[in-house]
Amino acid sequence: MAEVFKGSFTQQEPIPEAGIAAAVEVMRHGRLHRYNTAPGETAQTVLLEQEFAASVGAKYCLAVASGGYAMATALRAVGVKPGDRVLTNAFTLAPVPGAVAAVGAVPVFVGVTDQLVIDLDDLAAKAHQARVLLLSHMRGHICDMERLMAICDAAGITVIEDCAHTMGAAWNGKPSGTWGTVGCYSCQTYKHINSGEGGLFITDDADVAARAIMYSGSYMLYERHRAGPPKEAFETIRYETPNISGRMDNLRAAILRPQLADLARQVARWNERYFALEAGLRDIPGLRVIDRPEAESIVGSSIQFMLDGWDGAAVQEALARCLARGVELKWFGGAEPVGFTSRYDSWRYVDAPAMPDSDRVLSGIVDMRVPLTFTLDDCALIARIIREEIGALYQSGAVAADGA
């Protein structure tokens, strides 16, 4: 009988006991608001900010309500105004163009390569169109960051990094999120540390940090931030910066701190699973794995593979066959957004020109989450099922749309 996978692609691990205990302590004392502290007490939120800043080597860190809030705050803090154009990835998830729209700015999409990173030739060609790039390290794929920064520095473009999928990852040893002016992270359940909702914002720029703290709703209590800039940085901006509340609370910070302390171990566990899957998916006829560059230290919390040149009906047939055996795959090539798989032309509030080269790539991207609740045996089983179903379908000859 054919093997069936019984696990869940959306089940994360529980919150570690240390996080549960710390959360209960916060609930017992009742001071959940980050600025509500007893004499001599340092808020959990403040400690999380210090620890996160230290973990990536950033000068300043601000904990906020979500990754999307961190990105919109970053755009505001670097001076993006309504009507401005902001470069961003055509291949990303909806909160990224949504953050641009949240500040009244207009996304200009940059294409995706067949290695699933931003197309740097397209970026160079469009560099004159905007002063800011919101760069999404979508699904953890990191582009050549030296080249990207060279293009942006030459064009006077400020870079904001969306690190929702790269917390714990690096390019050439330098942490993702520290290349641009701001790094934005999400602490939502499907990311690398989990407080249900939450976000982190890092920068080395005192003015940008001060503005972000004011935006997040610090009232005039910014001196309580230990991972914030000196109070001189607030001198004028404190009068100019509106409060657009989006603070993180002490309960979430308490849950996150033990997870952050354990992140390196979790990254190693994700990567064991990722590379077990990758090994199992190699040399399947009709299927291409994405070779990860040497310079990239990844966090394999999801995996993508390509069905290059398959027609849409065949991809759907392949996914249906895998699903019948318990393997839930997502496809970025669908005409309609389903779950998280929307694409640049699904965001119809943006007047985006067609991008045929990116369309060709998007139409082949198959995506799978890799929760830590999977065992290595699970990963091997999933890869076997994909091999049997997708390999067989390809070899039946019913799949090639364009002879690929």
Residues of this chain that bind ligand PLP (CB under 6 A): 66-68, 92-93, 95-96, 136, 138, 162, 164-165, 186, 188, 199
- Quote the least distance from Cβ 390 to ligand PLP, whole Å: 25
Our CB check for ligand PLP shows the closer of 136 and 181 to be 136
> Cβ of residue 99: shortest distance to ligand PLP, in angstroms?
8
Q: How far is the CB of 137 from ligand PLP (least distance, A)?
A: 8
Going by C-alpha positions, the residue among 207, 373, 358 that lies closest to residue 301 is 373
Mode of pairing for the β-strands spanning 182-186 and 158-162: parallel
Least distance (Å) between residue 199 CB and ligand PLP: 5
Q: What minimum distance in Å lies between the beta carbon of 64 and ligand PLP? A: 9
**Shortest reach from residue 188's CB to ligand PLP, in Å:** 4
Closest to ligand PLP by CB, 37 vs 176, is: 176
Nearer to ligand PLP, 111 or 199 (CB): 199
Instruction: Please tell me whether residue 250 adopts helix, strand or coil conformation.
Output: helix
Distance separating alpha carbons of residues 386 and 186, to the nearest angstrom: 30
CB of 373 to ligand PLP, least distance (A): 19
Contact predicate 110/132, CB 8 Å: no
Q: Name the residue nearer to ligand PLP (CB basis): 72 or 276.
A: 72
Q: Which lies closer to ligand PLP via its Cβ, residue 93 or residue 106?
A: 93
Nearer to ligand PLP, 12 or 316 (CB): 12
Of 198 and 280, which CB lies nearer to ligand PLP in the complex structure?
Answer: 198
Q: Closest Cα partner for 163 from 93, 211, 112? A: 93
Q: Cα–Cα distance between 33 and 51 in angstroms, integer?
A: 19
Tokens of 235: 């001198």
Please give the DSSP secondary-structure letter assigned to residue 91. S
Gap between the terminal Cα atoms of the chain: 32
- To the nearest whole angstrom, how small is the minimum distance from the Cβ of residue 67 to ligand PLP? 3
- HSE value, Cβ hemisphere, 13 Å, CA-based, for 210: 18
Q: Dihedral, CA atoms, 210, 65, 30, 45, nearest 10 degrees?
A: -50
Return d(Cα 341, Cα 402) in angstroms, integer. 24
User: What is the enclosing helix (H) or strand (E) of 3?
Assistant: none
Strands (E) located in 172-246? 174-175, 182-186, 199-203
Q: For the chain, state the CA radius of gyration.
A: 22
Cα 13-135-147 angle, rounded to 5 deg: 120
Residue nearest ligand PLP by beta-carbon distance: 67
Closer residue to ligand PLP, CB minimum distance, 250 or 301: 301
Residue 331: strand, helix, or coil: strand
Which one, 137 or 225, has the nearer CB to ligand PLP? 137
CB atoms within 10 A of CB 369: 18
Q: Which residues pair with residue 201 across a beta bridge?
A: 62, 184
**Shortest distance, CB of residue 305 to ligand PLP, whole angstroms?**
19
Instruction: Write the CA distances from 85 to 76, 108, 154, 271, integer angstroms.
Output: 13, 6, 18, 37
Q: Which is nearer to ligand PLP, 138 or 208 (CB)?
A: 138
